[in-house]
Amino acid sequence: MSEPYDTIISPQNIEIKVFLLEEEHIDRVYAMEVESYPDAWSKELFLPEINNRAGKFFVFFIDNSLIGYAGYWLGGEEAHITKFTVAPTYRRKGLGTLFMNYIFKQVKKEDVKKIILEVRERNYPARCLYEKMGFQTIGTRIGYYSRTRENAVVMVLILDDFTDYDTD
């Protein structure tokens, strides 16, 4: 594997290596994607996230195990979170919170003022996490997810109003 982009420490004090998405990660990311979403992205949808100049896509590893991934697109002072996933066996251990804090830190470096995301209306774990981290619901997109026809809740966080979350 190539050199990590960064290293962060889990709440359990375990070292997590952060990489930017590369082709060699795609099979593992896709396997977790299918496990995690009723409307999973196809493998092909991940490919443009490699070397995407208009955003970043991080994959998180403990040793050789993929434990999650998260991506965003940039547009002006706004970041749009495209993916946010923790591996099933690693959930409820504070990693979602850690990864979101990591995204906050990264987008602040890119002068982002506002983060936006969509989440399935019935995805209570994710909605709870986002609310806990300061996101506010600004609307609903009816039937947004084409496969399931489920509604999306649109959530926004204004970074200026936000307490400093530091992952160092």
Ligand X SMILES: CC(C)(COP(=O)(O)OP(=O)(O)OC[C@H]1O[C@@H](n2cnc3c(N)ncnc32)[C@H](O)[C@@H]1OP(=O)(O)O)[C@@H](O)C(=O)NCCC(=O)NCCS
Binding positions for ligand X, rule: CB under 6 A: 36, 84-86, 91-97, 119, 123-126, 128-129, 132
Q: Which contiguous run of DSSP H or E holds residue 19?
A: strand 15-20
Least distance from ligand X to the Cβ atom of residue 86, Å: 4
* Distance in angstroms (rounded) separating the CA atoms of residues 5 and 147: 34
* Distance in angstroms (rounded) separating the CA atoms of residues 57 and 19: 8
Residue nearest ligand X, CB atom distance:
96
Least distance from ligand X to the Cβ atom of residue 23, Å: 23
Q: Is the dihedral of CA 81, 133, 12, 85 positive or negative?
A: negative
Least distance from ligand X to the Cβ atom of residue 160, Å: 23
By beta-carbon proximity to ligand X, the closer residue of 17 and 83 is 83
By beta-carbon proximity to ligand X, the closer residue of 107 and 129 is 129
* Distance in angstroms (rounded) separating the CA atoms of residues 145 and 138: 18
By beta-carbon proximity to ligand X, the closer residue of 2 and 88 is 88
